[in-house]
Chain A
Amino acid sequence: MLNEFTYCPRLGYLEWVQGEFADSADTVEGRYRHRRVDQSAKRPAKKESEGEEEKVVLHARSVSLSSERMGLTAKIDLVEGEGARVTPVDYKKSKRPHVARGAWEPELVQLCAQGLLLREQGYECAEGVIYFVGSRERVTIAFDDELIALTLERIAQMRRAVVSGEIPPPLEESPKCVRCSLVGICLPDEVRFLRANAAGLPEPRPLFPASDDTLPLHVQHPGAKVAKRGEVLAILDGDALLTEARLGEISQVALFGGVHISTPVVQELCRRGIPLTYLSSGGWFYGFTHGMNHKNIDLRRHQFRAAEDRSRCLLLARRFVQAKIANCRTLLRRNHELPLDQPLQQMKWDIEQAGKADSLEQLLGVEGMSARRYFECFDGMLKLADPLFPEFDFNGRNRRPPRDPINALLSLAYAMLAREWAVVLQTVGLDPYLGFYHQPRYGRPALALDLMEEFRPIIGDSAVITAINNGEITANDFIKQMGAVSLTAEGRSRFIQTYERRMSSEITHPVFGYRISYRRVFEVQARLLGRHLMGEIPDYPAFVTR
């Protein structure tokens, strides 16, 4: 804790005040090495035999100590000593750094705090040892007055930061961020960039991977069964194995319609923090199962406070609607076969109007008008709207139930988006049910609906256009029943694949300028909204493509 805080005050705050945590290769390796440190106590230490027997009297591993006077608690990896003279030993997985004091400041401070605790218990403790597992070297650190003063200062600083309730600002252009496991949560460069209003700052470094390591698993095969088999999930139809999916590679599980799932699977998903969502066969979102709620209560408190404030809601809502109209306009401009001067001009005007709206009701009106203009031109983006495919006759949006194939596809695409957003918001610690533009109604993930607005055209509509124009979905993939049109299981599976391809596609971020996949964009947007709600950045940067 003290170590993280000394490394970067913001990291310390995020991890220990807000309860954020993310694993990186370094943290996992650290734990792996550490387990061996803690366990090796079971084996008899070979060194203690023979000649050294009298010298080493005390040899205790994983010693927990705390002091109320200093307000400190520590778990010391190893305490060695003789009589009243003891030495704390801390294990680090890395190699020994070649710096003047033998170790970096965070490690020095951490070790010194352990030493101070031992002194508090009445031991004599003049020095400590850091054992670097990577290079198998012991480095002795003397607890001189300078180090003790530094340690006490860090402890006091940390306490002040916690009491103030304000998150410390990110480090500036620091090389420390590159290997920090929380870089995707902290967004150091992005926050600094948006705070300075882009004046003169270099574009953020692409510090985290452009695309996700894990991908969703969709099960929509009617009557399929999901079971756990060791480290993989088996999807079965009766006794026949349909496919297997490795647990470590799943980001979320979506179950469409009547799919069975076993309790061991649910438990394992909760344990790994993989969200499980339940949907109707048409993609209607019923709800989800998630491990224990996110720990960052601070964030949710800010969200609730902002949602109470009508003027803040309106500011955010304007952003969502403006970005949505702008993205619709871009999509039309890119894909429509005819030049559309008039509708594009009108939509530009709509964007201005949305920026001026002074109530949510008025904004709703502007959005509705603009959506109608957009959907009137929608069929011009579909290349197969010829006599061979009379089914693809599209005259405006209709739903519940969708009455033509395009509307069926759009409904499914939007349902997928809403689900995606609900999951993203839940994972970053926001409450998906409390929105700013969409007002809460029972069972409606209002915040997810808010944030998906700007992505409706660029993900949802775009996936529909791709699926039809590439011939991935044809007239045979639909069933018509009593005026309602729905997709066949196979058509749905193919459309979900098209949609997921769109989600995985990498684009150049319009604000930050680096390559990033849409899947990642969602997470970054959600975290930036959090940063905005907590007052770190002045504006929510809605996602507008160029």
Chain B
Amino acid sequence: MRHVYIVTYDIANPKRLRRVFKTMKGFGKHLQLSVFQCDLPAIDLIRMQDILTLIINAEEDQVLIFNLGPTESCPIKSIQTLGLPAKLAKRATVVV
């Protein structure tokens, strides 16, 4: 079962920040500075937590993971946008 997560982070050191950013690109869509929208099954959530825990410094950095609920119930619909339209991700086969 997939859930939609919003992951945000505050990283104190630029080197770790880049590594967190690069890792997060593998798990979700980059929505804003330090904000990702992820659509993950339980197994990938744990993988993500695992990798992030290794990168960050627990004394200085912070990562917040918001669980919006099961993907089936379309929780992204509840996201309101003001200003520029948000480019939220939807899962589909990639054909280029």
Contacts and interface: CB of A to CB of B under 8 A. Distances in A.
A232 B50 contact: no
B58 to A, nearest CB: 13
A28 B47 contact: yes
A425 to B, nearest CB: 21
Interface in A106-155: none
A29 B91 CA distance: 25
A218 B94 contact: yes
A500 B92 CA distance: 9
Interface string B43-67: 1111101100000000000000000
B26 A504 contact: no
A355 to B, nearest CB: 37
Nearest to B43: A25
Contacts of B84: none
A500 B95 contact: yes
Contact of B42 (A25, A231, A232, A246): A25
B93 interface: yes
A487 to B, nearest CB: 13
A496 interface: yes
A231 B25 contact: yes
Given A28-B43, A28-B46, A500 B93 contact: yes
B18 to A, nearest CB: 10
B46 A29 contact: yes
A245 interface: yes
A221 B43 CA distance: 32
B46 A218 contact: no
Contacts of B95: 218, 220, 493, 496-497, 500
B96 interface: yes
Interface string B28-40: 1000000000000
A209 B1 contact: yes
B23 interface: yes
B28 to A, nearest CB: 8
Contacts of B22: 230-231
A504 B46 contact: no
A263 interface: no
A489 B47 CA distance: 37
A218 B25 contact: no
B69 interface: no
Given A242-B96, A248-B44, A493-B96, A215 B91 contact: yes
Please classify how large the interface on chain B is, using the bins under 10, 10 to 19, 20 to 34, 35 or more: 20 to 34
Contacts of B94: 215-218, 243, 245
B93 A224 contact: no
A504 B93 CA distance: 9
A529 B18 CA distance: 47
B9 interface: no
Contact of B93 (A213, A218, A220, A248): A218
B26 A213 contact: no
Contact of A243 (B25, B42, B44, B96): B96
B65 to A, nearest CB: 15
A215 B27 contact: no
A32 B50 contact: yes
A182 interface: no
Contacts of B2: 213
Contacts of B49: 32
B91 A246 contact: no
Nearest to B29: A246
B41 interface: yes
Contacts of A493: 95-96
A415 interface: no
B96 A218 contact: yes
A247 B45 CA distance: 15
Contact of B96 (A29, A231, A232, A235): A235
Output the residue of B1, B49, B93, B94 with the most chain A CB within 10 A: B94
A29 B45 CA distance: 10
Nearest to A28: B46
A266 interface: no
Contacts of A246: 25-28
A196 B49 CA distance: 44
28 contacts: A23-B43, A25-B42, A25-B43, A28-B46, A28-B47, A29-B46, A32-B46, A209-B1, A213-B41, A213-B44, A217-B93, A218-B93, A220-B96, A230-B22, A230-B26, A231-B23, A231-B25, A231-B27, A245-B94, A246-B25, A247-B26, A248-B26, A248-B27, A248-B44, A493-B96, A496-B93, A497-B93, A497-B95
Interface of A: 23-25, 28-29, 32, 209, 213, 215-221, 224, 229-232, 235, 242-249, 493, 496-497, 500-501, 504
Given A213-B44, A248-B26, 7 more contacts: A25-B41, A29-B46, A213-B2, A215-B93, A218-B95, A244-B25, A501-B93
Closest 9 CB pairs of A and B: A231-B26, A25-B42, A500-B93, A230-B22, A25-B43, A32-B50, A218-B95, A215-B93, A496-B95
